[in-house]
Structure 1
């Protein structure tokens, strides 16, 4: 096997495996929290939904991409390609939208009393589910035409204005449709990224403004937790924006070319999936609730294994 193919395959395999494992752990931790606590905080609900979207992304793009890299391209027929590409695009779009939602909701949470944003604090919990529903409907409407463009790979030359993802083709048939769909999706992404960056900058300015009063703030109930949560959200936004920038530089190049080499599409898939693969581990390391549940399960398993070993020794 060619060395480049091996390196690319191992990279996708590690990324996909880490992403699936990390997001499943986060979802299981929150599943346990749901049964032990009366209700989740808005930020916890958003982080749980983010893990679900990222898990969908890894399953619908990471797994097929990894298999394709090792030479197995006939994975789906036409209906299968329509479903898998639609699901991937929805999950990728939800990843950016929910990260933006997380940033905005956290900005409202840490907003000082008397500000315009502080008036929304009491209604945050009631807004979470309607916002989720709105994001699903918005992105489903944007990507509904995927069912007309996605199809299984055909033998022969790849037509112009076709995105080749290895296991499926997305044929836009003409330059106008190709550019319109690209601009529409990119416009949505840039709008949400701009909003998440603005809310993150607001949180940073707010934390900096009150940096001299942090000791007093920590003494107030819950303020320390809000500050830590704000820093966590800002770090997630920085992580997303970094990989989003790389992703869209490659995407702009793909929009300007009629025929894009498969290696370019592979690079875009890898970088666009980095956030979905790495973010759950940051959530695990920075979220006390999730970390506590994982430690609790680990401590329960350890005595059980020790008891089993002791019985064998007897």
Structure 2
């Protein structure tokens, strides 16, 4: 397996974890089934959901950065970085997984199944589970730290994707004067992977922008918990993980060949 395929494999696992930890309890709750019966179960569910979401963000960022370094590897400095990333790709992924879990521990501190009271000011309400923060300070602090962490990954992946787009445009301009037979010879796996990465990142950045606008409103302006806003955010998060396999199939020639054979 190439380094890109390894990243895609772990990214697929992270997306599956996120879909199960986010989609399963929400779907069951929508049909009137109580997924969590204890506060402890609610805490574990929240930390798994939050950490798997960060895994998806960080590994999408890693994928775009690695693809950008691959396209820039004609430069000796970037070629050396590419070799090091290929050599330690599993360690990098494991580090990102550990970072995702440790940075999401705060999400396990305050979830409960239910609470007495009508005015819940500093609360995220998922319906089956409530995250009740003891003060406005903690509510905003944890929210802004999470926003800054996710925003850093998104800025990195967007920067790498802009570079990939520039390379793809240059490549297309170079191909304009060539025959169609030359086009097929010059279309490499790296360019197909680059197009896939740009598509993934574009969708993610758009969804992230809308989702985090809602999140920023919740932690800074909203005066009470609103389950409709939470549902909208969860739906936007859910969409990327749902679209991921279809984008992968559309751009990955190996998977297309296997599906045709099947």
Normalising by structure 1, report the TM-score: 0.76
Q: 1:176 aligns with which of 125, 137, 143?
A: 137
Q: 5+ residue gaps in structure 1?
A: 1-39, 299-314
1:238 Cα deviation from its structure 2 partner: 0.4
Q: Which residue of the partner structure matches residue 161 of structure 2?
A: 200
Does the aligned pair in 1 maintain the 2:25–2:35 contact within 8 Å?
A: no
1:132 Cα deviation from its structure 2 partner: 1.1
1:295 Cα deviation from its structure 2 partner: 2.8
Cα distance between partner residues in 2 of 1:46 and 1:74: 32
Cα distance between partner residues in 2 of 1:207 and 1:218: 15
Q: 2:194 aligns with which of 210, 230, 239?
A: 230
SS in 1 for 2:62: helix
1:218 Cα deviation from its structure 2 partner: 6.0
Q: Deviations over 1:30-77 (max 9, x none)?
A: xxxxxxxxxx11111111111111111111111111121233346331
Q: Which residue of the partner structure matches residue 226 of structure 2?
A: 261
Q: 1:244 aligns with which of 208, 213, 219?
A: 208
Q: Which residue of the partner structure matches residue 70 of structure 2?
A: 109
Cα distance between partner residues in 2 of 1:115 and 1:157: 63
Q: Deviations over 1:163-208 (max 9, x none)?
A: 1111111122111111111111110111110000100111111222
Q: Which residue of the partner structure matches residue 286 of structure 1?
A: 251
| Residue 262 (structure 2) pairs with residue 276 (structure 1) | no
SS in 2 for 1:145: helix
Q: Which residue of the partner structure matches residue 190 of structure 1?
A: 151
Does the aligned pair in 1 maintain the 2:120–2:225 contact within 8 Å?
A: no
SS in 2 for 1:159: coil
The range that moved more, 115-124 or 181-190, is 115-124
| Residue 27 (structure 2) pairs with residue 66 (structure 1) | yes
Q: 5+ residue gaps in structure 2?
A: none
Q: Which residue of the partner structure matches residue 49 of structure 2?
A: 88
Cα distance between partner residues in 2 of 1:74 and 1:143: 21
RMSD (Å), alpha carbons: 1.9
1:78 Cα deviation from its structure 2 partner: 0.9
Q: Which residue of the partner structure matches residue 88 of structure 2?
A: 127
Q: Which residue of the partner structure matches residue 126 of structure 2?
A: 165
Cα distance between partner residues in 2 of 1:143 and 1:101: 19
Does the aligned pair in 2 maintain the 1:102–1:233 contact within 8 Å?
A: yes
1:114 Cα deviation from its structure 2 partner: 2.2
1:156 Cα deviation from its structure 2 partner: 4.1
Q: Quickly say closer, same or farther: Cα 1:73–1:259, change in 2 above 3 A.
A: farther
Does the aligned pair in 2 maintain the 1:150–1:169 contact within 8 Å?
A: yes
Cα distance between partner residues in 1 of 2:109 and 2:130: 11
1:133 Cα deviation from its structure 2 partner: 1.5
| Residue 16 (structure 2) pairs with residue 55 (structure 1) | yes
Q: Quickly say closer, same or farther: Cα 1:44–1:192, change in 2 above 3 A.
A: same
1:130 Cα deviation from its structure 2 partner: 1.3
Normalising by structure 2, report the TM-score: 0.91
